[in-house]
Structure 1
Amino acid sequence: MVDDLIDLENKSWNLNLINSSFLPLEAEIIGGIPLTDRLPEDKQIWGATSNGLFTIRSAYQIAMDLNGKEPAGSTSNGSGMRLFWRKLWNINVPHKIRHFAWRVAKDIFPTKANIVHRHVLLDDTCEECGLMSESMVHFFWECPKSHHTWMLSKLFQTSGPLHFRNFMDFLWYLLMEVNWSEEDLALVDAIVWAMWTNRNEMRHGGLRKSGDQLLFWCKQYLDDYWAVLEASVKMQQ
């Protein structure tokens, strides 16, 4: 049960139990979910209605919304989406980052906007800027901190500003609309992962990394990973 993972006395996650029970990435995600001080009893709710009860009408509305959000480049038979997912999973980064990118693309990460939608929190304001709702596309692209990091990376050298409806559109643009190198795509994945990791570190008392620090760490991490892969290939020859 979820309440087994919560330290009721301190009203916080039992991080020792979580770290010993889940994979590192899963433990990091769980630990990053804010807990309410009220600690209400667990119950099943339907996030698409204000009272938490399932209705056919709300399910139909969700289906219509999802259909409307489908990237413009996808085709009716799904071949575009299959190509998109194949490209996403083929980016040359550690598996935990590929899995992270898949979860981000599916918008199933515990951003404050998603948690408020599930009626767990009341306030979805981004803690970085204090101005907007902490949605996926805001946290990873629109927020001043993330925007500054992307500008420092010099990855997005375009003639004008780029705007995305959601983070799926952001990934679609990178994988299906522009011709980037494997190294640049890997760096994007690593930066997104590092942004989220630092967010959770800060929630547990860690230090806030600057854009320069995040970029330096990502590049060093990828260089080390690729060096290990190259050494492994040479040993097998």
Structure 2
Amino acid sequence: MEVGQAGIEGPKRKTTETICQRNAAVDVLINVEAGVWKEELVQSLFLTYEAEVIQGIALSSRLPDDRQVWTQSTMGCFSVKSAYKIAVDIKSGSDSGAVSDASSLRKFWKHLWRFNVPHKVRHFTWRACKNILPTKDILEKRKVLSEIMVAKWDQEVVEKIIMISCGLWNNRNEVRTGGAKKKVQAVIYGALDYLVEYQSSQTATIMQEVKCPASWSPPPLNSFKINMDGAVFVAQKSTGVGILIRDEDGRLIGACSKKILAPLGAIEVEAKAIEFGLQFAKDMLIQDFVIESDSLTLINALKEISPPPTAVAVLVYCSMAASHEFHRVAFSHVGRLGNRPAHILAKHALRIVDFLVWIEEIPCFLE
């Protein structure tokens, strides 16, 4: 983006030629030494809402090289699914009068995809509702079915009906390809048994996924644990970061409360908290520690279990690079209750101007 050109387009924009060159790039808006936006310059060049959007983009203090990302995807990678969604949005925008009750239809599909049945069965039901199953009639006519209305049935009943429907359809296809024709009773019992087995396995999986440490636990011997959290102050258009360092006995080694004068989002301030936590560890001359956060998305990204969200990908990768500068760094996820002291420190940033640090002293509001 060229700041000079963007600044003089249209009569509503403020003149920028007296502030920066016509072809200046985005880097003129960044304070390279501090790794933050030049607040006064951004506000002088752009309209208020534009300046807020720009300042809401989280920057890494390491300022890595630029890279291309696909903004329509959460992880920044191009996918046919995201491109298809854009095409559908464009088409629906041009054909906005084609569907008389679009909101009701969207509500119907939303409920359909929530049914607790296997995904392929939901997909079968979707195809049946859209009348795009390869039946003889459809193959001959190739027409689209009109809007379908569904009665307000009990969800468990609907789940059983679509499971049985899918079972009947699959057996029909088996017969057409030379398979054995099952009795209706066998198809029904088989479909319902499959549903019970699937829902039981899903319940066990969900219980396993949501299980995480609810309280703080000490780090390994001769190491430290650094808990950090972020807080968003919408009214003040700023955010706060809280950092807490404790040893294996739970003794406080250091604490920090820092205000960030930028309207960052929740995931952005969490990522900045991890970045500041690593810098705080460096300042405290700590080499062996555990980074702990209540953001499972960021911890999984730092562990390289899953890719980071596009909005904080740079921050995550820079934090990973910074962690290699220490002797040993591990990453851990904890529940909100176990991270409460760090959250209190983050909220305390609302009352300060820049930052406060406590060394081997527990802040009075944490006691």
TM-score calculated relative to the size of structure 1? 0.43
Q: Structure 1 or 2: larger strand share?
A: 2
Q: Structure 1 or 2: larger helix share?
A: 1
TM-score calculated relative to the size of structure 2? 0.29
